[in-house]
Structure 1
Amino acid sequence: MQIQPSVIHQSGRALCRSVAATVGLAAAVAATIATPTAASPAPPTAAQEGRDDPTPALLVRLSADLKRTVASDEIIAAATQLGETLVALRRAPNAGDSSAGFKASSVWAARGDGPFRMISDYLVYDWGCFGDDEICRESRPDLGYMAGHRLSDGHLLMLVWTPAGRPVSAKTAEGATMERSPGVRGWVMWARTRQPWQATVTVTRSDGRTYRLPHQPGGIIDRQP
């Protein structure tokens, strides 16, 4: 059997094309591997999550106004907005609340650079859930903290802290989303509303499911500092 030179020539060209294609594919793969991937976004800072530590200046100021040493771990939440600084401090719950597993706080407020004055002597938290909120019941006992202060100009300030920096949002009874900013610990949210008791605060867990923080007795405070 005689093989024609043209067949050899054509086969050689086909082989060259095949080798070139293989080399080109290898080069493309190598380039893909060598190309650095985009850097992953940096995790949120403590301040962005609303869980930064209180500043020494705040502790000094509180200690001076309360006439005792206030330690950092006493502060549940603290934030400043609309010219007012709100601070929630841990306190011992009464016997009944303690036996039920509830926690307690006092709430302090200061206008501008003025002194801190107590606006609520006793406010419970981690105390309950809405009846139909199964996610809330699953999340107990550490649900979070919420206290509202109604200002004389019609604004409602909501001081909120959540475990592990869980994201939080709030809406007024009128349907408006409340503004939000991180405090030195926790969050502060604010909006004008005529029905402060109807404001809803929603917490998002790490698994994406949500629950609502219910208003505790006395949780919307009218007293001014």
Structure 2
Amino acid sequence: MQQRKKIAIIVAGGSGTRMGAAVPKQFLELAGKPVLYHTIAAFINAYADMQVVLVVPETHFAPAQQVLNSFPAPPPVTLVKGGETRFHSVQNGLQQVPDNAVVFVHDGVRPLLTAALVRHCYEQTLLHGNAIPVIDMKDSVRETNAAGNKAVNREQFKIIQTPQTFLSEQLLPAFALPYDPLFTDEATVVEKLGHPIHLVPGEDRNIKITRPLDLVIAEALLRQ
């Protein structure tokens, strides 16, 4: 199987509003380290040749650099200024991506992904062009509309996670498209160019930290 350059674009532009904290959630402490530290470490521990592009608002460059300085050895990370939306932030990060690469796009506040998930996404992307991790819905789901609501079959739906992973020849042309508010994630952008989306099993522990309870759960998972 052909090996490719591995680039992780980690998007960390949260403000911490829903956390009720003055510190942006990606810089909150989790098991003695910032949330963002754990996220970066997951990628550089997965592959020795992993390169990371960290996309943050310019006002967060200083705390982001502090996170990088806390690693035992300088990690292979390039800091890039974020954009107005997630789409534009990823677009900025993609300027650092060479041809013939596999690109992981990941939420900075998903710090609990495993190296096994990173490797599986890489291998599946080489086979299928992209790999989008998903998990099953466990709750009952109802669809609401102007007429009321109705139950729907949850087996027909999946919860999307990151890292959404692509061959560079799919992702780079997709992000040359004009911005569309319907672009809710990278898969929707790539799908716009007609590429089929390949789903792979995600991880229940790969939670996104958005509220105080998520931080408590993440701490408990790290202690296991």
TM-score (norm: length of structure 2): 0.28
The alignment's TM-score, normalised by the length of structure 1, stands at 0.27
Give the structure, 1 or 2, with the largest relative contact order (CA under 8 Å, sep 6 or more): 2
Q: In proportion to residue count, which structure has more helix?
A: 2
